[in-house]
Amino acid sequence: MKLSRRLQIVLMVAVISAALIVLEKYKIPLNIFLWRYIFDAGHIPLFGVISIAFLGISQTLWQRRFKNPMIHYIIAFVLTGLLGLITEIIQYFTPRDADLWDIINDGVGAICFLGLYLTFDRRLLGSGVVLSKKLKYIIRLAVVVLGLVALMPTFNWIGAYINRNIRFPQICNFESDWEQKFVFANNASLSIVPSPESFGDSIDNNVGRVDFSKNGSSNFMIVEPYPDWAGYENLSFSIFSDNPEIINIELRINDRQHDKNYHDRFNQVLSINPGINNISIPLIDIQMAPKNRQMDMRKINLIILFMVQPENSITIYLDNFRLE
């Protein structure tokens, strides 16, 4: 049974409205890198569906005005792009983040879905637009390649999490390119360098060199280490200092429930002697550190080493963060 033009438009507007509701109401289940990238990648199918709905609206409303069927595809792509841009502008004024990559993913979704639909569109028959069988396969292949390229950041993060989980209880030893996705430095310089001879009998080839700035607070972070530390006794790592004097570095560790309060995390000042320092922190101390609760040792979220306004720039070498 053929639907009336009015009902077709109502249904396609309903599809667009439903997609926008999903975009607005769906919340990331866990605020971690992987879920954020999966959520961003969701713009591709979501706006792909929206582009097909806009195509249907254009073909229904302006079928007689635009005899060339390709005009409707252009209209659908432009309307989808404008809608994506408007939603990001609105999000800029809300607690949600506006993101240029979301707009790009919106466009990629429109191109992929419209391109794929084009190769099956029966409306092309008799319109003067002819797509050879070879051209259709080329378009389909291009759509698949474009979609995979757009999803590469998500695939990379999936690979990083798999690598992180396989290497546990090794947390970070600067030997894997994957683990570098989880290490950051703020107001400091972080570089992966060959292990200095003076570091000692390290079995690793590389270490992390951190140059702390003397201006303000600077830190080195391991974000989202493998979260389940239950069943282990100690957090161990090595610090080599080429400074002639003892320096103090503060260690912070918190779980996902951390409320940003100083007393709701583990804090310890480490006195770092010249040369090699092998650090070992009992996990029970970390668990009992929050003032009003116990830290959830199955949901560890962050390890930070930081310094506040040292008198001079400080360089240290880090290696072999692990649980024992």
Fold assignment, 172-323: Jelly Rolls (2.60.120)
Structure tokens, 20:
């926008």
pTM, full prediction: 0.82
- Cβ contact 49:19 at 8 Å: yes
- For residues 58-65, give the mean pLDDT: 80
* Rounded CA separation 315/240 (Å): 9
- Which residue reads 């290696």 in tokens? 319
Q: What is the largest CA-CA distance in the chain?
A: 86
Q: Which residues contact 215 (CB under 8 A, 6 or more apart)?
A: 187, 309
Tell me the pLDDT tens digit for each residue of 288-303: 999 999 999 999 999 9
Q: Where are the domains of the chain?
A: 5-166, 172-323
Q: 3-state DSSP: the chain helix, strand, coil percent, rounded to 5?
A: 45, 25, 30
| Residue 266, beta-bridge partner list | 253
H or E segment to which residue 58 belongs: helix 43-61
**Residue 5: is its pLDDT beyond 50?**
yes
User: What gap in Å lies between CA 213 and CA 150, rounded to an integer?
Assistant: 37
Q: Amino acid identity of 139?
A: I
Radius of gyration of the chain (CA): 27
Please say if the pLDDT value at position 96 is more than 70: no
Report the alpha-carbon distance of residue 137 to residue 211 in Å, rounded. Answer: 53
pLDDT of 3 reads 60
Around 290, how many Cα atoms within 13 Å sit in the side-chain half-sphere?
A: 19
**pLDDT tier at 201, thresholds 50, 70, 90:** low
Side chain identity at residue 249, one-letter code: I
Which amino acid, residue 22?
V
| 248-280 tens-digit pLDDT | 999 999 999 998 899 999 999 999 999 889 999
DSSP tally for the chain: helices H, then strands E: 7, 11
33, exposed or middle or buried, with CB in 10 Å at 0-12, 13-18, 19+? middle
185 contacts 209 by C-beta, under 8 angstroms: no
The answer to whether the beta carbons of residues 274 and 242 sit under 8 Å apart is yes
